[in-house]
A and B are shown apart, each in its own frame.
Chain A
Amino acid sequence: MSLDALENYYDLDDIISTNEKIPCKIEIPIYRLGYLDSSSVNEHLTPGSKLEFPFWMARSLCSRKRHMVSVEMPKQYREAYREILTADASVVDLHKLGPYYFSFGIHMLKFELPESPDVAKILVKSFQQRFRKVMDSSQNCYNEDTSKLTDKLDESEILLFRAGQHGLNEFVRWETRQTEKLTTSEMVKNHRKRKRAIMEDIG
């Protein structure tokens, strides 16, 4: 996945992030699809019943033109969480709230709910605040274990972090004149490692 691939039809991360669940309320009866609601034995989905739909399904049932279900903001974007993010965004564990907190949040804005403007604002603000830290840590952590630094990051922040690390590593390699050395391709190396692991399992 690359950074510019967000919202690409074939992008794996985008497909996974559009599967996040949203609380929905049925507005008009949907016949013969009662099995989608595991908490009821009804054959149909009846108006007023509440259930969770993945984003892609809710999106096709709720838009300006259609109103078969009504959509609510998932709780990690509601007032309480927005306040936490306003207080200090850089300590919040977005991986736990997401892990696609930003990209899913952007998708949620398409529903044009009353609180959408606030959510949009908080997404930008927290991204700005956290970006400083992400960039700083990615540029200053060389040859160390990075899992502590990335475990609270959202998926898109992890991509940024990796990009920064890649840049840093390439720069150090250039500085120490290692770039002229021909090396084994990374893919071949990984393939070898894996093969060895399998061989050892058998033996």
Chain B
Amino acid sequence: MLAERALELIRELQRSLDGTLPPFNEDKVRQVLEEMRALFEQNQKDVSATVAGESGLFSGVQLRHAALERNKRCLLAYIYNRIQKIRDMRWEFGSVLPQDIKYNLSEQEVQWFNKYNKCLANYMRSIGGTGGLDLTQDMKPPKTLYIEVRCLVDHGEFETHDGNIVVLKKNSQHFLLRSECEHLIRQGILEHMVH
């Protein structure tokens, strides 16, 4: 059946779980584009034959056209939904993606991610007075300025804004500025201790 390959792309994307992105399936995308080219050329041929006087070809043209539109929809949806996911990842993982996720992006997607990063950084710098405003912070309303945290992994040295150096060793506990360690909690390096 026509447009079967394009649907495989869609299914592949739908199966993937939250927090993962399957590798960009360049091979299959190319196959879909080839199918589309074949359909388009056949349609062109039939149209010029109709102009030359042959009749009854319209139904075939219509069918192929539907398949073309379908393929187009699948390809666009594939790219669009991947981009949406990559955008969400910027907010969850921060401005640097883990290596194994980056490995699964196509070249254009890496470019898009870098541009999105730049856009977001520029916007965050432009609002909220001189220092800018980090929108990825305080996703939940803060209750206190300082919070108690415990390290879940060995992370190494961490320099706070006032110049002190804290060594983040596994299972050590610290009392830190919430604004400074929130992103470390989001990334699973620290655990927030609530009593």
Which of B81, B101, B182 interacts with A10 by CB under 8 Å?
B81
Which of B66, B73, B80, B101 interacts with A61 by CB under 8 Å?
B66
Query: Complex: how many Å from CA A195 to CA B94?
Result: 18
- Known A-B contacts A15-B73, A57-B70; the reply to A194 vs B59 at CB < 8 A is no
Q: A4 an interface residue at 8 Å Cβ cutoff?
A: no
Which of A16, A60, A179 interacts with B7 by CB under 8 Å?
A16
Query: Complex: how many Å from CA A187 to CA B188?
Result: 11
CB atoms of A10 and B76 under 8 A apart: yes
CB atoms of B77 and A11 under 8 A apart: yes
Contact residues of B: prevailing secondary structure: helix
CB atoms of A61 and B63 under 8 A apart: yes
CB atoms of A183 and B20 under 8 A apart: no
- Known A-B contacts A9-B73, A33-B63, A191-B20; the reply to A182 vs B100 at CB < 8 A is no
Give A9's nearest chain B residue, CB to CB. B73
Q: A13-B14, A33-B63, A54-B3 are in contact. List 14 more A-B contacts (CB 8 A).
A: A10-B76, A15-B74, A28-B56, A30-B63, A32-B60, A61-B59, A66-B62, A182-B182, A185-B92, A187-B92, A188-B19, A189-B19, A190-B20, A191-B93
28 of the cross-chain contacts (CB-CB < 8 Å) are A9-B73, A10-B76, A10-B80, A13-B14, A28-B56, A29-B56, A29-B59, A30-B59, A33-B63, A36-B2, A54-B1, A57-B66, A57-B70, A60-B66, A66-B62, A179-B140, A182-B185, A182-B192, A184-B191, A186-B19, A187-B18, A187-B89, A187-B92, A187-B93, A189-B188, A190-B19, A191-B93, A191-B101
